[in-house]
Structure 1
Amino acid sequence: MATKILLACAAGMSTSMLVARMQKAAEADGVDTQINATSAAEANEVIDKEHPDILLLGPQVRYMEPDFKKNLNIPVEVINMQDYGLMNGENVLRSALKTLGK
């Protein structure tokens, strides 16, 4: 069963490029994943519909982490700022999988 990863940032635009790089890394490593991006404002709606295994927040919305953690029963992590800035999909994917114990 695919690991579902949801990324949320201010508008959902910058994370779209990161999603593509994460998917490429997952394919190269033979990891079965389903990775999507959304805006932080729409994250709860997407979570209710898609039921991801983990929520990754872009650094620009890190202030929302406590609220998401309080209201969700899945891991919520802030993406490493350096990995986000460099669009290092491989590191972000590894971090998410490590958090999930995979």
Structure 2
Amino acid sequence: MKKIILCCMAGMSTSMLVAKMQRAANEAKIDCEIHAVAADQLKSNLDGANAVLLGPQISYKLSEIKQLCNEAKVPCDVINMLDYGSMNGTKVLDFAIKMFLDPIG
């Protein structure tokens, strides 16, 4: 099972996207667990994570969060603003999967 973490300021604005991603994963029969967490709680939730996705509203924290994720050997990136804004769970799920299948690139 893969673990995907969506990270925003309070862990709440990504909740709807988490639900849409989980629905897309279930429909595609992809075994994964997707959670939303606040940025200040990310460190305590990184154990076992395969990818961390940041909401566009906290993209300014990317270098700080990427350093934390690099130490844990977890790929991290910002969700595309259009996919986030349209709550496109399938596209964001695909992005996360590509991150842990090809973490370099």
Question: Do they fold alike, i.e. is TM over 0.5?
Answer: yes
Give the C-alpha shift of residue 80 in structure 1: 0.5
Partners of 1:101 and 1:92 lie apart in 2 by 14
**Residue 79 in 1 paired to residue 79 in 2?**
yes
What does 1:1-102 correspond to in 2, within 5 Å?
Answer: 2-47=1-46, 50-72=47-69, 73-101=73-101
- 2:92 is matched by which residue type in structure 1? V
Following TM superposition, the consecutive aligned residue runs of length 4 or more in structure 1 with deviations greater than 4 angstroms are none
What are structure 2's unaligned runs of at least 5 residues? none
Partners of 1:4 and 1:90 lie apart in 2 by 16
Partners of 1:95 and 1:71 lie apart in 2 by 20
Identity of aligned residues (%): 44
Deviations 1:21-70 (A, max 9, x none): 000000111100010001111111222xx421111000011111111222
Contact 2:43 2:68 in 1 (8 A): no
Give the C-alpha shift of residue 78 in structure 1: 0.2
Instruction: Give TM-score scaled by structure 1 length.
Output: 0.91
Paired residue secondary structure (2:35)? strand
Give the C-alpha shift of residue 13 in structure 1: 0.9
Partners of 1:83 and 1:94 lie apart in 2 by 11
Partners of 2:80 and 2:23 lie apart in 1 by 19
What are structure 1's unaligned runs of at least 5 residues? none
Instruction: Give TM-score scaled by structure 2 length.
Output: 0.88
Partners of 2:49 and 2:68 lie apart in 1 by 14
- 1:11 is matched by which residue type in structure 2? A
